[in-house]
Amino acid sequence: MRAEIWADVVCAWAYIGKRRLERALADWRGEPVEVVWRPFRIDPMAPPRALPLAGELRDPLVDGALRQCSPGLSPAENRVRVSRIAAEEGIGPHWGAAWRANSHDAHRLLAVAHEQGGSSLQNTVAEGLLRAHFTEARDISAPEVLTDIARQAGFLQGGDLLAQGAGDRTVRELLLSGKARGIKTSPTLVVAGRALPGAQPPEVITDFLHATAGETERPLPPEVRRFREAESLLDLGDPLGCLTLLAPLLEDRTTATDRGVRTLAARAYFHSAQLGRAAATLEDLVATSPDDSYARLLLGRTRERQGRSAEAAGHLRLATAMTPSYGH
């Protein structure tokens, strides 16, 4: 059984959730559970270089980001509450982040640790990152700190791999995948496609594991899963995210010619105002399948937005003749 933790390492509830999951697994008597960390960002606007958190907490934008972790509470009230709960979970003795740190590179380290050493190494790195941020007051966006955390975890090549840019595409795509799958809070535990949001008590986690034991998510070819997640992102109003996930399919010689892939790319181009690319893709689709009424409709709308009314009218007229509902 695989349990994915979608979480941000600068989210205090992620650390508390980790401890609670560990307690649940200590008493678990079911099939073995592999824990894998996946990225989530609670503060995507964090600056590239960390800033002292005390000063940043006066920024209303930061206040808004922190409120995602504590609905109904002010950041100050939440810090008091979280400190108490962390102490109850045995996290300490000192508690409290000192830096507003950008967690992107920390997530890259986690992704590369999983690629190089599997879930066991990744979990050790995750513990090091959380401990460094919340109890050691270290800046986990600093390359030298990440290198040291990797070294302490036995991941000696971790710092060098980060310096080479490893894990960047993986993290960016996983963040989009999580968005497409409806991950909205840190932490969220996902097993067999079912999600348990929040740092739930061990008994709730145990019940969740029992409920999902023996279940398996319907296996999909990687390219099909990627396509569906890209499609979900477009439906969520993120055409650029859609194109990011589609990129490998558009680059692959086998999937680049698939009409579904190209039509979805054309839609994303259109909705991100890349009208030249949308038109080029749609012209090719119409040339190879003149009876594709949807491609004609979208091509007509693209030409309208380009100010080419005469061309647009012809395509729209044909699209409506083939599919009358397009005329409404």
The ranges assigned to domains in the chain are 2-212, 222-327
Please name the residues in contact with 261: beta carbons below 8 A apart, sequence gap of 6 or more. 227, 246, 249, 250, 255
Task: Write the pLDDT tens digit of every residue in 55-92.
Answer: 766 666 665 555 555 655 566 677 788 888 999 999 98
Mean pLDDT, rounded, of the chain: 92
| Residue 327 confidence (pLDDT) | 77
| Residue 81 confidence (pLDDT) | 84
Report the pLDDT averaged over residues 25-47: 94
| Residue 217 confidence (pLDDT) | 74
Report the pLDDT averaged over residues 12-29: 96
The count of other CB atoms within 10 Å of the CB of residue 151 is 14
| Residue 4 confidence (pLDDT) | 98
Burial of residue 52 (number of CB atoms within 10 Å: 0-12, 13-18, 19+): exposed
Can you say how many angstroms the Cα of residue 157 is from the centroid of all Cα atoms in its chain? 25
Report the pLDDT averaged over residues 4-28: 96
Count the residues in the chain.
328
Report the pLDDT averaged over residues 272-282: 97
Proportion of the chain above pLDDT 90, given as a percent: 82
Fold of 222-327: 1.25.40
Task: Give 109-178 as a DSSP string.
Answer: HHHHHHHHHHHHHHHHHHHHHHHHHHTS---TTSHHHHHHHHHHTT-TTHHHHHHTTTTHHHHHHHHHHH
| Residue 214 confidence (pLDDT) | 80
| Residue 70 confidence (pLDDT) | 60
pTM of the predicted model over 0.85:
yes
CATH of 2-212 among 1.20.120.80, 3.40.50.300, 3.40.30.10, 3.40.50.720: 3.40.30.10
111-125, 207-221, 284-298: which has the minimum mean pLDDT?
Answer: 207-221
Residue type, 222: P
Report the pLDDT averaged over residues 200-212: 96
The secondary structure of residue 302, as a DSSP letter, is: H
Give, in degrees to the nearest 5, the angle at Cα 21 between 16 and 27: 135
The count of other CB atoms within 10 Å of the CB of residue 123 is 22
